[in-house]
Chains A and B, each alone.
Chain A
Amino acid sequence: MAGSRVQKVGSVFSRTRDLMRMGVLRQPLWFEVYAACPPRREPRYRPARPRYGRARDGVRDIFYPEDAVRAKFYRVYGSGPRPFDLLQPNYKSTCQRFVEKYNELKEEGKIEEEKLFEETGKALLASGIILQRRGTDKVSIKRSENELASGLKRLHF
Chain B
Amino acid sequence: TEPCPAVRPLSFSPRSRPPALQQPPGPGAVLPSPGPFPLSRAAGDGLLSEPLGHPDFFNVKELFSMKDLFSARVHLGHKKGCRHRFMEPYIFGCRLDQDIIDLDQTMDHLQLALNFTAHIAYRKGIILFVSRNRQFCHLVESTARECGEYAHTRYWQGGLLTNAHIQFGAGVRLPDLIIFLSSLNNVFEPHVAIRDAAKMNIPTVGVVDTNCNPCLITYPIPGNDDSPTAMELYCKLFKMTIIRAKDYRKQREVFHKLQSKEEGGCARPACASRGCRAP
B85 touches A48 (CB 8 A): yes
> Chain B residues with Cβ under 8 A from A60's Cβ?
93-94
In the complex, B200 has a CB within 8 A of chain A:
yes
The contact string, 1 if C-beta is below 8 Å from chain A, for chain B 88-115, is 1101111100011000000011001001
Min CB–CB distance A14 → chain B (angstroms): 10
- Residues of chain A whose beta carbon lies under 8 Å from any beta carbon of chain B: 1-7, 11-13, 15-16, 23-24, 26-30, 32-34, 36-37, 39-40, 43-46, 48, 51, 57-62, 89
Q: Which listed residue (B3, B112, B177, B215) contacts A45, Cβ 8 A?
A: B215
Query: Is B162 within 8 A of A12, CB to CB?
Result: no
- Contacts A29-B123, A59-B93 given: A40-B199 contact, CB under 8 Å? no
A36: B residues at CB distance < 8 A: 52
Q: Does residue B202 face the partner (Cβ distance < 8 Å to A)? A: yes
B153 touches A (CB below 8 Å): no
C-alpha spacing A1/B6, complex, angstroms: 9
Contacts of B215 in A (CB 8 A): 43-46
Main secondary structure of the interface of B (DSSP, over half): mixed
Cβ contact within 8 Å between A45 and B216 = yes
5 nearest CB pairs, A to B: A7-B198, A62-B93, A33-B119, A5-B199, A62-B95
Find the A residue at minimum CB distance from B177: A30
Q: Is B27 an interface residue (CB 8 A)?
A: no
With contact pairs A23-B24, A39-B218 given, residues A61 and B94 touching in the complex (Cβ less than 8 Å): yes
Partner of B109, one of A1, A28, A40: A40
Give the number of A-B contacts (CB < 8 Å).
108
**Nearest CB in chain A to that of B10: its residue:** A24
Whether the Cβ atoms of B116 and A33 lie closer than 8 Å is: yes
21 residue pairs of the A-B complex, CB under 8 angstroms, read A2-B7, A4-B201, A5-B162, A5-B199, A12-B202, A12-B203, A23-B7, A29-B120, A30-B176, A30-B177, A37-B55, A37-B119, A43-B198, A46-B86, A48-B213, A58-B88, A59-B94, A60-B93, A60-B94, A61-B93, A61-B95
B71 at the interface (CB under 8 A from A): yes
Docked Cα-Cα span, A5 to B202, in Å, equals 11
Cβ–Cβ < 8 Å partners of B89 in chain A: 58
Q: Is the CB–CB distance between A43 and B119 below 8 Å?
A: no
Given known pairs A7-B199, A48-B86, the reply for A30 and B120 (CB within 8 Å) is yes
Measured between alpha carbons, how far is A7 from B203 in the docked complex, in Å? 12
The answer to the question of B217 belonging to the interface, with a C-beta cut-off of 8 Å to chain A, is yes
